[in-house]
Structure 1
Amino acid sequence: MQDRTISRRSALALAGAGIVAGLGLVGCGGASAPSGSGTSSSTYKIGILQLTEHPALDAANKGFIRALDASGISYTADQQNAQNDQSACQTIAAKFAGDGDDLIFAIATPAAQAAAGATSEIPIVGTAITDFVEAGLAEASDRPGKNVTGTSDLSPVAEQLDLMKKVLPEVKLVGILYSTAEANSAVQVKAAEDELERLGIASKRFGVSSSNEIQSMMEAAVGEVDAVYAPTDNTVSSSMAQVAQIARDAKVPVICGEEAQVDAGGLFSLSVSYEELGYKAGEMAVKILTGKAKPAELPIEHMAADELKVVSNKETADALNVDLSALKA
């Protein structure tokens, strides 16, 4: 009988004076997994550390659990959300390490960095991470060399901006909205600047240190630029509804790094599927748990070109009077 237990605890409570036990959901079905590198009862203990709540990261979490369930292994999953608080990430990661979990699943770069800082022994599988090497999580993409591997959400930045050029040929200046505190954003900002320069379009950075600065920075941006590019940045993504509303009021289109940002009001994106990224990460975790692979030798996985999809927001296009037919060309 498969034992699937998912407990939920408040990350903020963990970071405070004590650790508060959360709610548990128990389900069972399927056959028992063979003994591997997990606990003596053949039920693997998995700690899941998610940086914050927003649809892309939630989808990655969902995909990971779906892969575990499809594998038939027996496991317990301790679900924790750090509410975009780095100190909470570190506290949760330290707890997972202290609990002696068999594997840690880290969703987003800061979560994976916290997990890697807490343990060099427990296998860590990350997702929603743009560049594992740039973030200090791996020595190389094809052979990580440490206890961390996973799936990358590296956006097709050049292709996204090429689409922008087709849809919005009159754009002369693009504002790049990003968090200065996120290593994954720096990679994408540089890629965006390089591509915009190649296209003959000027760019300007609009960096924020926290979500509290989003409103004022966006209000400044829409007064200067013809369009805004929002990469797959956790701080920006979690505030995307606010970003989109300010941009719409100013009649400035927002080109997005991923699908959930479009759903929140952005104009369009060529997007990875975060649920599929999570699923791929789950398959990697199963290989590690069952002794079929080691994180140090398991290459970082990316979405293939044919797995990307164009997504757009018709309501936003209508409000901006933008013709999206070029997306299908």
Structure 2
Amino acid sequence: MTIMKKPLITLASAALLALGATGLQAADKHVAITQIVEHPALDSVRQGVQDELAERGHNVGENLKWSYESAQGSPATAAQIAKKFAGESPDVIVAIATPSAQAAAASARNIPLVFTAVTDPVGAKLVKALDQPGKFITGMSDMSPINKHMELVKTVAPTAKRVGVIYNPGEANSVTLVALVKEFAPQHGMTVVEAAATKSSDVQTAARSLVGKVDVIYLPTDNTVISALEVIVKVAEQNLIPVVTGDTDSVARGAVAAQGFNYYEVGRQTGIMVARILDGESPANMPVEGVQRLELFVNPGAAKRMGIMLNDSLIQSAKTVIK
């Protein structure tokens, strides 16, 4: 009797252990995150997503598998990453910036996808409508308030008549923003001069092409351009052309001023959406969200190096003044 009971107890214990292991695996979640390029704003989004998930009980290395890939600015690489993630079938794919979101939407049609830092989700053909994004897709738009940006350009450079815009025509978000610049700049007494840069190595040439043609340079939230900001700042300082951007992280890197979003908070807001999906909610019930709060950053030292002085009222109204 005793000899026969031991294998029965062992088998029962093994069954309980197997059940426990299966339960643990079932509780684990997998988030795959793809980012078109690494620069401070997009990196802040990614960190914000991770921190928000941790606050909501989804901890990397404990009960959350976290896969991250950067496309290093290449849409072709973004497509390869999207195909790889689609094959892994994670619980949620997070796509940071328009090119990565477009690639993920094309390859992972039946996997929940949350895009973020996407300027125009409808124009990029990610969703048909912001309030009804689709069965498997939703996310956040960071559409820039271009009219306010043109007001800021004019405040920084009151006598400016010609504004140069450097952008990548291959980024759908940038095409949308430049169209808005063309719409609003004339309302502030400025004509627009465009300079295209299809990859980061073209940005310096694009910046130099504006010398002698513009009074001020405006940089939209273009991932290709912002990733190479330092070369623009160098050209601007050498030729005394102030640079204003839509990316607040760029001000610490040498731009004169920016009015934009706190991208870490954009990431936190995105993380809430991701957590809701991990907890069982359908993306179909989650309209695309926008970012409402703007922050003004200024860099008086950069302004001086570019041949201008910022007025005291602008400096006093800034959330952050770079010393």
Query: What is the TM-score when the length of structure 1 is the normalising length?
Result: 0.84
In structure 2, the residue matched to 1:6 is: none
Contact 2:118–2:142 (CA<8 Å) still a contact in 1? Answer: yes
In structure 1, the residue matched to 2:296 is: 310
Give deviations 1:215-270, integer Å, cap 9, x for gaps: 12111102210001100000000000111110111000111011122222111011
Counterpart check, 1:321 vs 2:315: no
Distance in structure 1 (CA, Å) of the matches to 2:175 and 2:264: 24
Counterpart check, 1:192 vs 2:181: yes
Deviation at 1:147, TM superposition (A): 2.0
1:296 paired residue among 276, 279, 284? 284
Counterpart check, 1:167 vs 2:156: yes
Counterpart check, 1:207 vs 2:196: yes
Contact 2:220–2:246 (CA<8 Å) still a contact in 1? Answer: yes
Greater fraction helix? 2
Structure 2: segments with no counterpart, 5+ residues = 1-22, 318-323
In structure 1, the residue matched to 2:244 is: 255
With over 3 angstroms needed to count, the CA separation of the structure-2 counterparts of 1:39 and 1:98, relative to structure 1, is: farther
Pairs within 5 Å for 1:48-197:
48-73=33-58, 74-197=63-186
Distance in structure 2 (CA, Å) of the matches to 1:89 and 1:204: 30
Q: Which has the larger radius of gyration?
A: 2
Structure 1: segments with no counterpart, 5+ residues = 1-37
Say which SS state the counterpart of residue 109 (structure 2) adopts.
coil
Task: Output the amino acid matched with 2:159.
Answer: E
Task: Output the amino acid matched with 2:301.
Answer: E
Distance in structure 1 (CA, Å) of the matches to 2:139 and 2:272: 10
Say which SS state the counterpart of residue 213 (structure 1) adopts.
helix
Counterpart check, 1:47 vs 2:32: yes
Task: Output the amino acid matched with 1:157.
Answer: I
Distance in structure 2 (CA, Å) of the matches to 1:253 and 1:167: 8
Deviation at 1:298, TM superposition (A): 1.0
Give deviations 1:38-72, integer Å, cap 9, x for gaps: 99521111111111110001000000001100101
Distance in structure 2 (CA, Å) of the matches to 1:141 and 1:198: 28
Contact 2:34–2:100 (CA<8 Å) still a contact in 1? Answer: yes
Deviation at 1:146, TM superposition (A): 4.3
Distance in structure 1 (CA, Å) of the matches to 2:103 and 2:308: 44
The count of residues paired between Structure 1 and Structure 2 equals 289
With over 3 angstroms needed to count, the CA separation of the structure-2 counterparts of 1:101 and 1:39, relative to structure 1, is: farther
Deviation at 1:297, TM superposition (A): 2.9
Structure 1 residue ranges (4+ consecutive) displaced by more than 6 angstroms after TM superposition: none
Contact 2:160–2:216 (CA<8 Å) still a contact in 1? Answer: yes
Contact 2:300–2:310 (CA<8 Å) still a contact in 1? Answer: no
* RMSD over aligned Cα atoms: 1.6
Distance in structure 1 (CA, Å) of the matches to 2:195 and 2:107: 32
Task: Output the amino acid matched with 1:300.
Answer: V
Say which SS state the counterpart of residue 278 (structure 1) adopts.
helix
Distance in structure 1 (CA, Å) of the matches to 2:313 and 2:191: 22
Deviation at 1:290, TM superposition (A): 1.1
Distance in structure 2 (CA, Å) of the matches to 1:104 and 1:249: 43
Distance in structure 2 (CA, Å) of the matches to 1:174 and 1:123: 41
Give deviations 1:156-193, integer Å, cap 9, x for gaps: 21111112222321000001111011000011101111
Deviation at 1:326, TM superposition (A): 4.0
Contact 1:152–1:277 (CA<8 Å) still a contact in 2? Answer: no
Deviation at 1:145, TM superposition (A): 2.0
Distance in structure 2 (CA, Å) of the matches to 1:96 and 1:247: 40
Distance in structure 1 (CA, Å) of the matches to 2:221 and 2:24: 36
Task: Output the amino acid matched with 1:122.
Answer: I
Distance in structure 1 (CA, Å) of the matches to 2:311 and 2:295: 15
